A and B are shown apart, each in its own frame.
Chain A
Amino acid sequence: MCIEAGYEAMSRALLEPGVVGACWVGSESAPYGAKPCAVIVGEALGVTPNVIAADVQFACKSGSEAMQAAIGFVGSRMVDAALAMGADAAQSRPGDALEVTAGCGAAAFVFADGERSVALVEGCASYVTDCSDFYRRQGARYPQHAGRFTGEPGYFAHIKGAVGRLLLDMGATPRDFSHVVFHQPLPRFVEAIAEELGFVRCQYEQGLIARRIGNCYAASSLLGLVAVLDVAQPGQKILLASYGSGAGSDAIAFSVTDRIVERQRIGLSLAWHLARRRVLKGYGQYARLSGKVMR
Chain B
Amino acid sequence: MSSPAEVRRLSGYRLRLEGQQCSTCGEVQLPPRPLCRRCRSTTLEVRRFVPRGKVISFAEVSQAPSGFSGPYVIALVALEEGAIVGAQLSDVTVEEVEIGMPVEVTIRRLRQCSTEEAEGLVEYGAKFRLSSSSDGGART
Given contacts A31-B122, A43-B15, A44-B16, contact A4 B107 (CB under 8 A): yes
CA distance A267 to B139 in the complex (A): 5
B69 contacts partner chain A, Cβ-Cβ < 8 Å? yes
B114 and A295 contact, CB distance less than 8 A: yes
Which residues of chain A in 274-295 are interfacial with respect to chain B, using CB atoms and an 8 Å cutoff? 276, 278, 288-291, 294-295
A268 contacts partner chain B, Cβ-Cβ < 8 Å? yes
Kindly list chain B residues whose C-beta atoms are within 8 Å of the C-beta of A290.
Answer: 113
Distance (whole angstroms) from the CB of B114 to the closest CB of chain A: 5
B69 and A295 contact, CB distance less than 8 A: yes
Extra inter-chain contacts (8) besides given A43-B11, A267-B140, CB under 8 Å: A31-B122, A40-B124, A46-B48, A266-B140, A272-B137, A276-B135, A288-B113, A295-B69
A236 contacts partner chain B, Cβ-Cβ < 8 Å? no
A173 contacts partner chain B, Cβ-Cβ < 8 Å? no
Q: Mark B107-132, 1 if CB is under 8 A from A, else 0.
A: 10000111101100010100000001
Interface centre among B11, B112, B122, B140 (most CB of A within 10 A): B140
Kindly list chain A residues whose C-beta atoms are within 8 Å of the C-beta of B113.
Answer: 288-291, 294-295
A129 contacts partner chain B, Cβ-Cβ < 8 Å? no
A268 and B138 contact, CB distance less than 8 A: yes
Interface centre among B15, B48, B112 (most CB of A within 10 A): B15
B139 and A268 contact, CB distance less than 8 A: yes
A167 contacts partner chain B, Cβ-Cβ < 8 Å? no
CA distance A261 to B8 in the complex (A): 40
A295 and B115 contact, CB distance less than 8 A: yes
Some 11 contacts from A to B, beta carbons below 8 A apart, are A4-B107, A32-B122, A40-B124, A46-B48, A267-B138, A268-B132, A268-B137, A272-B135, A290-B113, A291-B117, A294-B113
Kindly list chain B residues whose C-beta atoms are within 8 Å of the C-beta of A268.
Answer: 132, 137-139
Kindly list chain B residues whose C-beta atoms are within 8 Å of the C-beta of A3.
Answer: 15, 107, 124
A40 and B132 contact, CB distance less than 8 A: no
Which residues of chain A in 222-268 are interfacial with respect to chain B, using CB atoms and an 8 Å cutoff? 265-268
Distance (whole angstroms) from the CB of A10 to the closest CB of chain B: 9
CA distance A46 to B18 in the complex (A): 11
